[in-house]
Structure 1
């Protein structure tokens, strides 16, 4: 649609709304508004954001597609319970400041969540509009609307008010999305809050894991600065379990409560021949080098560069695999192959990420899986040997199990292999803290209020849930903060 066509349509819809004659069928007839984005060829050689955001006209038209359902089923799919129909109605009426205020009642990171949360399997999955068309891609674009109003907040949000000092100290271990929320909510209650971060920059997975072209780091920086302005202390290069243990934080350093939000940062490997060869990375290492250390900028003299690759194989089908493959393109690879043992339908990655990866020239090798990685006399990777697969009966996940086809081995010439098949909980907290209960996967066990088995210690995010999302981690950070505030209110000074 042209700008003039959008203008005419919006004026017509608003006139009907004012007259009380706007019907659901009128809303169904509004075309979904596509997100403007960088040209696919151009973005292969830069790390600037791919999705460029809605214009105001697009946002208002997209908001007009919302039926304003009385039951608001979309909220059931939102882990933090944002009043979705209310913020969307505010956008439709042109009151974007009010829309942002509504979102921030429940979400402290709308610019982040609007970009990276999988709305298609959360709030948008239950959208009545999408259900009417039997196509979640035609649901109201809740995430894009959230991003739109968040990005209008160009002067920065007002600093949240902080209650009178309570004399209680709270330690937040990890500065990812859950840690940021827990820090903000406990600080607002008047506690003395310190965030401990293992890396030299705060932000957790939002800084080291998610590429700049999906989530600009300036957005995360602004959120950290807001915490600092609230009086939260940020301590970097501090590894809880090594620099200090949780027990030391509580018994020697005087912290009354500790929230553990360290994520699940231990990469999984396949256990195949050749994984120790030069040129084989975990996705964690590859993305951390690129995102946190700016290794994509070869002219900057980055301290931890990535070796220049020509032919890259990425193993996996999730968002992390897409991030690694799309990063490899941007650091100059001539060929990038994505190897996944199921079909595209079973891929856990977001549809948008798969679409962008294909646009950027990444070759998908589906129903294939590595058998071994081949190296030369200098122990450098030179090829990856794969097996072809077919789908058999469903496994415990409900997806059809891939079954290897005997004798189907073949080689792909590569100089770099990136393993992106998932992560596990880092065992450091478990090894250095007695009194905490863990499950068989090494994740912390918590109750419905995110309390662990150790008095005064709370946890949330990937260390509890396994591989989760930004919004789920935020939800647990909020639950844990409420429990901390309640428990500390009953604790004498």
Structure 2
């Protein structure tokens, strides 16, 4: 029975040290620390943590194996439900999911489920443990478009079922948002690479630099290439802007572009000839995890950074851990502040952000209090770079080039059920391309549900074909 009210502390780089490098901030548990933390788990008979996990990992069971020191068995338990544990252990919002439902959190701190998952996954990689076994080979081929968390999870499950799976990726490296959107100090690219290598070892193929909708189409994949089903998991990579004057000035960029240049193209490394503009005084607009990632990256590149957010600190959508780290590293927060105009010098470069102070009014239909401008409260922030981190939308390319594929008014792909079935037979979709920008774990959940639906679709199709052939 667990008795410790407080979590076992986890080692981190000091704020002063990490401001000057892109190395991982959190250093993870060693085996003794992990086993001690695991003793805090009460092994609930009806574990609410499992109910709160989008992919339903048997959390008490894998933690029980950590307690006993059998890390290989813990890894096998996690592998039944998650193909990306080293990723999820680092970037999932556990505080509002599994850990947020942990009974230990009622009288103390919840069990560090995410850090324990990360420990098991890292141990598995370090010890070269092969986990996955495949079912007998199926004759059908499945195309997965996009190699982010939804696509990787779907591909993993289908490969385990015995299908021949090919993942088509528009960029030169697989991983989607895991490699272009999340900084090295939160998610090392070597970890993503190893998780993808595990998929390759069970037969998943990756085709890079392929833009579906231009290089090839969904129609050609199904009608000419012979794929029995297609899963669209292209994410939401189209950045949003505010529509205020001055957004086209030099020095105004989207967080998407800024992070892609740093994360995927390694602009932070001196031996990479990747162009990236970085100001001395940077303002990041937004309050989500992407805003934190952009601000903390700019800090590491030598900038003074302010985050401007139109609501209060209480309403920040970013993970508490990321906000805490940002504050430690020197990011300044300007709450209840909203930009209204960006001004420039005589050469067209940003030199000032005009803002107004806000106050929170009545709640909207979602229960969030609506920010309202305070009259006569305009003021300016001196800056030479503005990074817009206001969310993203799905790219319309595939929708516009695929017959029979219905979209939502806001741009996402329309699905007819929770398993990602679209209006085009044999075509399924999930993740941010359907929901808009969300979390890694929710995208993984969508990928797993779609894999189950694709399996059912192909089995039903093959059964009808068999019955028809037999009748003749």
Given candidates 60, 84, 90, the residue that maps to 2:59 is 84
1:181-208 CA-partner distances (Å, limit 9, x unpaired): 1112222222221110011111000000
Given candidates 242, 248, 251, the residue that maps to 2:223 is 251
- Quote the offset at 1:159 in angstroms: 5.9
Does 2:287 align with 1:317? yes
Q: Structure 1 residues 185-194 or 405-414, which shifts more?
A: 185-194
Query: Aligned runs of 1:253-272 on 2, under 5 Å?
Result: 253-272=225-244
Aligned pairs, number: 461
- Quote the offset at 1:143 in angstroms: 0.4
Equivalent in the alignment of 1:306: 276
Given candidates 8, 13, 17, the residue that maps to 1:42 is 17
3-state DSSP of counterpart to 1:172:
strand
Assess if the C-alpha contact under 8 Å between 2:79 and 2:131 holds in 1.
Answer: no
Q: Structure 1 residues 151-160 or 429-438, which shifts more?
A: 151-160
3-state DSSP of counterpart to 2:234:
coil
Equivalent in the alignment of 2:122: 151
3-state DSSP of counterpart to 2:107:
helix
Given candidates 332, 337, 358, the residue that maps to 1:368 is 337
3-state DSSP of counterpart to 2:355:
strand
- Quote the offset at 1:30 in angstroms: 4.0
Given candidates 130, 148, 171, the residue that maps to 2:143 is 171
Equivalent in the alignment of 2:418: 448
Q: Distance in 2 between matches of 1:352 and 1:243?
A: 41
Given candidates 452, 456, 472, the residue that maps to 1:482 is 452
- Quote the offset at 1:467 in angstroms: 1.8
- Quote the offset at 1:377 in angstroms: 2.1
3-state DSSP of counterpart to 1:357:
helix
Equivalent in the alignment of 1:217: 189
Q: Distance in 1 between matches of 2:272 and 2:199?
A: 31
Does 2:178 align with 1:206? yes
- Quote the offset at 1:429 in angstroms: 1.6
Equivalent in the alignment of 2:46: 71
- Quote the offset at 1:479 in angstroms: 1.2
Equivalent in the alignment of 1:412: 381
Given candidates 80, 84, 93, the residue that maps to 1:118 is 93
Q: Distance in 2 between matches of 1:45 and 1:145?
A: 28
Equivalent in the alignment of 2:29: 54
- Quote the offset at 1:426 in angstroms: 1.2
Given candidates 189, 211, 219, the residue that maps to 2:161 is 189
- Quote the offset at 1:362 in angstroms: 0.4
Equivalent in the alignment of 2:369: 400
1:191-226 CA-partner distances (Å, limit 9, x unpaired): 221110011111000000000000000011112222
Assess if the C-alpha contact under 8 Å between 1:110 and 1:150 holds in 2.
Answer: yes
1:98-139 CA-partner distances (Å, limit 9, x unpaired): 111111110111110000000111111111111334xxxx11
Q: Structure 1 residues 123-132 or 205-214, which shifts more?
A: 123-132
Q: Distance in 1 between matches of 2:157 and 2:42?
A: 33
Q: Distance in 2 between matches of 1:428 and 1:317?
A: 28
Assess if the C-alpha contact under 8 Å between 2:79 and 2:132 holds in 1.
Answer: no
Structure 1 residues 388 and 462: alpha-carbon distance in aligned structure 2, compared to 1, 3 A threshold:
same
Assess if the C-alpha contact under 8 Å between 1:30 and 1:61 holds in 2.
Answer: no
Assess if the C-alpha contact under 8 Å between 2:10 and 2:28 holds in 1.
Answer: yes
Equivalent in the alignment of 1:470: 440
1:322-346 CA-partner distances (Å, limit 9, x unpaired): 000000011121x100000111110
> How does the TM-score come out when normalised to structure 2?
0.95
Gaps of 5+ in 2: 466-472
Gaps of 5+ in 1: 1-21
Q: Distance in 2 between matches of 1:432 and 1:344?
A: 42
Given candidates 98, 104, 112, the residue that maps to 1:141 is 112
Equivalent in the alignment of 2:73: 98
Q: Distance in 1 between matches of 2:198 and 2:49?
A: 29
- Quote the offset at 1:28 in angstroms: 4.2
Assess if the C-alpha contact under 8 Å between 2:15 and 2:328 holds in 1.
Answer: yes
Equivalent in the alignment of 1:425: 394
1:406-463 CA-partner distances (Å, limit 9, x unpaired): 1111111111100001111111122112311222222222213221111000111111
1:76-107 CA-partner distances (Å, limit 9, x unpaired): 10001011111111112222221111111101
